Structure 1
Amino acid sequence: MIRVLIVDDEALVRSGLRMILEATGDIAVVGEARDGAAAVGEATRLNPDVMLVDVRMPGMDGLTAAAEIGRLPDPPKVIMLTTFDLDEYVHLALRAGAVGFLLKDTPPRDLASAVRTVAAGNAMLSPSVTKRLISSFTEMGPSRAEAARRRLSALTYREGQVVRALAQGLSNAEIGRRLTMSEATVKAHVSHALAKLGLANRVQAAILVHEADPLAYPCP
């Protein structure tokens, strides 16, 4: 069972998300919070697997909360939710350590699928967000791309293969099949690569790969 904590300042939104997720049978909503400060406290107390966190909330907003949650000893995976499809939110959320970003009008089936995806250790962005995010990398100057390439050069050949595969949105199992290695080995390579690069999660690694060579990863 996947344990989820819902964070939103609107009770109606929290109630709707709870109904959608608990109807799946494999997802349990273990708690709710109405602002960022409460979210950090509940994350510590309840130890959920996944958190759905609204970007805009009074007091401590979702971006600040995500950054604090990311500093916990064994942080849950954070999916940011918003009604606003704005690039600035996406970039800030990913820098804060979120591994997913979804609009609140995401269909119920896709919402549940996103929770399962991030719980399994993969990243999840809504298609419209992904397209715009990757497009932004094609506009970056050569100096930023070169800096990203230098960082990636610290990886071993195999780690580099794995990181570039995850930048294409592949799961650990899919990467294993492509590169002929076990899922456990893929997971180990991802962990080692993140540590070498000083990154918090797979999404940040994927962003670095796109910065290094945006034309190799065209928009879907």
Structure 2
Amino acid sequence: MDSNELEKINNLLDRDVELREKIKEQVNEMDKKTRTIIGILNRIHSTPLDAMPALLDSVRPVLLGCRDTTSALAAIIPRNQFWRWKDLWSNSIRTAIFAALLIEYLSTRGLLTIAEAAETLGIREEWSDRMTLPVEDYLHSLISLVNELSRLAVNAVTLGNFEEPIRISIFVKDLFAGFSMLNLKNDTLRRRFDSLKYDLKKIEEVVYDVSLRKLAEVPKES
């Protein structure tokens, strides 16, 4: 290998190292925001129902601040290199999407679609070759949402909110049914989906206890 070829290779390696460091800087910024978001959202387990809107209002601006990071990443990732670099920020994006899904559920008892979740983080369609929201990351975030809701079902009862476990049960059963119809080929995703059965069982036990004690009316399944 001649010296010119070696120099070209070294330049390419240096360029990759420089780009990786720039990406890591942005990911670190997002991680700071998601840590703040998760810290605030952890309070939902000790927040009465009437105080929940104020808590969610306090976290929304921090979540929307993640748009600065996705925009910065889209600006520095070379065209058609999304899949080469995505592993550097996948966990950060999943955490942010999980937070968006949880805020939506607590606000409306509804579910953000993948397109709505991407929009929340300011991810644009025209960035698809540099920055996008893969289906796998969205599904991982959904599973994290169910994990958190199973915990909330228990803590809501402690706070005297006996209707919440029932709402959570209906929501999670619908999600579980949807997941069951997917052809999951990602091993990690499939294993995490299998764990949802335990979350669902935990929620059903809370609903059964609420029903048995006649603390809230459980709708009959059709």
Which TM class, normalised by the smaller chain length? under 0.3
Which structure's CA Rg is the greater one? 2
- TM-score, normalisation: structure 2: 0.27
Structure with bigger RCO (C-alpha 8 Å, 6+ apart): 2
- TM-score, normalisation: structure 1: 0.27
Instruction: Say which structure is richer in strand.
Output: 1
